[in-house]
Amino acid sequence: MNTSTKLTRDDLYSLEKYFEIRDDFRKKIIAHKEDRRLELGDNLVLMFEDKLIMQYQIQEMLKAEKIFESDAIEEELDAYNPLIPDGHNWKATMMIQYTDIDTRRVMLGKLIGIEDTVWMQVEGHDKVYPIADEDLERDTADKTSAVHFLRFELTPVMIADAKAGKAINGGVEHAHYNYVLTPIPDNIRRSLVQDLI
């Protein structure tokens, strides 16, 4: 696999090879995602994306669509590469989860703008609020989406301190959803530090 932060065709398995290794690769991804999933209270989850998770997403897409043409593979790479952290940020898919459908509908109406109130913080530094939904707007006047994409940009000093072992905190400060997690679990902290250069 190449050492850049982005995937290339050289990182991908052929369809034939992927069919052979898929079960083992899926088990690896499930275990890996356990260290990338941050629960902020009962109803909000951040899934921090990275190169390995995006490789899996692409491989699954190629398999499902039986894609093997070069141009089509490049289209998938172009779609998923922007979700891979660049070495100075964390990128996450944020999911708002309510099991009861009526409660979910009510809360999505109350939680407009919540994506802008999520924060991450390296101990001793200011909170970092995300750049949200760069690809498209996901709020309407009546409700927010259950899924948002977030990018947390870190300063060089924050990165150095995180890599030096400082705690990482997270939280949400919306009028209808407030939660603080200090610090985040150590397994997640270790995984997020791997995203930083």
Residue 136 sits in the same domain as residue 116: yes
Final residue of a structural domain among 61, 83, 105: 83
Show the domain range for 63.
9-34+51-83
Question: Is the bond leading into 82 cis (omega within 30 degrees of zero)?
Answer: no
Residue 79 sits in the same domain as residue 99: no
- Spans of the chain below 50 pLDDT: 1-2
pLDDT of residue 1: 44
Residue 116 sits in the same domain as residue 177: yes
Residues 188/32, Cβ–Cβ less than 8 Å: no
- pLDDT per residue as tens digits for the range 68-88: 899 999 999 999 999 999 999
pLDDT of residue 3: 54
Residue 189 sits in the same domain as residue 94: yes
CB atoms within 10 A of CB 187: 11
Residue 124 sits in the same domain as residue 183: yes
Question: Looking at residue 123, what DSSP letter applies?
Answer: T
pLDDT of residue 161: 98
Q: How many independent structural domains does the chain possess?
A: 2
The answer to pTM > 0.85 is yes
* Run of H or E residues at 194: none
100: left (phi over 0), alpha (psi -120 to 50) or beta: beta
CA dist 27 and 31 (Å) reads 6
- 5, 100, 113, 141 from 176: Cα distances, Å: 36, 17, 10, 16
115, 52, 51, 116: which is closest to 85 by C-alpha?
Answer: 51
